Structure 1
Amino acid sequence: MQPHDPAARLLVALEQWDDLALASVLNPDVRLVVDSGDDTGGDLHGRAHVTRVLRERLARHPEASLHIVHVNGRSGVALRRHDGAVLGVLSIEGTETIEALWLSTAPRKLAHWNRRRPALE
């Protein structure tokens, strides 16, 4: 991943809990669509709101780590447990800044990600 790639910049900002870096990679009018498979999902707008929701969701899984992945032909970010299980996948749209994010945490939609888990070392 190139350092100017929005997915790489998002990953670093989230890993380091760096609000300035996160603000620099998210468009002020960024949209986040959360597909959780239940009524906790939704459609959010605005950098402050999206930042808060991403932080809250990451805080639920302090043992998990973030990884750059390809989602629908684009760069994205996956949240994986130490055993390799995928807990969520972020699909990213935008070139200079991120204009839209799609977060899938629905177990049904993550099933194919978890069938191809990497071998544990």
Structure 2
Amino acid sequence: MQRDEISSALVAALRAGDDVALARLLDVEARLTVDTGDRGGGSVRGRARVIRTLERLLVDRDDAALEAAQVNGCPGLALRRDDGTVISVLALEVDALGAVAELWLQAAPTKLANWNRRCGP
């Protein structure tokens, strides 16, 4: 799988609730770091823990939808409300074997300001 296809595959697997597909995308020792801008952030390691955390934070939201995105030059995802407001972004680091090894979830509103900047009147 190409580096840029990882984002779309991750979105599809998360939307479908397909833990097997998610496991195929992630390295067994994958690490997810979450920045919420407060004490709610942290880090989890291991494929199963990363999958559970991603599902808890990004899936089954009535107020927002996932989409593939470029995040700081890396493949990633954005969680966007219907009004266009981005409420979190996920950057992915893909290893030499094509597995996602590191994931960084940014959910601190102040750090998402550039994602939500509006142009025009």
Is the shorter-chain TM-score for this pair beyond 0.5, marking a shared fold?
yes
**Bigger Cα displacement from structure 2, 79-88 vs 62-71:** 62-71
Could you tell me which residue of structure 2 aligns to residue 85 of structure 1?
A: 85
* Deviation of the 1:4 alpha carbon: 7.3
**2:32–2:104 contact (8 Å) kept in structure 1:** yes
1:5 partnered with 2:5: yes
Q: Quickly say closer, same or farther: Cα 1:103–1:4, change in 2 above 3 A.
A: closer
1:105-116 correspondence runs (5 A): 105-116=107-118
**2:14–2:59 contact (8 Å) kept in structure 1:** no
Q: Quickly say closer, same or farther: Cα 1:23–1:116, change in 2 above 3 A.
A: farther
Q: TM-score, normalised by structure 1?
A: 0.88
Q: Deviations over 1:31-66 (max 9, x none)?
A: 000000011100110011111111111246333111
**Bigger Cα displacement from structure 2, 35-44 vs 55-64:** 55-64
Quick one: which of 96, 99, 102 aligns to 1:97? Answer: 99
* Deviation of the 1:116 alpha carbon: 4.3
1:2-81 correspondence runs (5 A): 5-59=5-59, 61-81=61-81
Q: Quickly say closer, same or farther: Cα 1:60–1:72, change in 2 above 3 A.
A: same
Runs of 4 or more above 4 Å deviation: none
CA distance in 2, matches of 1:86, 1:15: 18
* Deviation of the 1:3 alpha carbon: 9.1
CA distance in 1, matches of 2:78, 2:28: 23
**2:27–2:101 contact (8 Å) kept in structure 1:** yes
Structure 2 residue ranges without an equivalent (≥5):
none
CA RMSD in angstroms comes to: 1.9
Count of aligned pairs between the two proteins? 116
Structure 1 residue ranges without an equivalent (≥5):
none
CA distance in 2, matches of 1:90, 1:36: 12
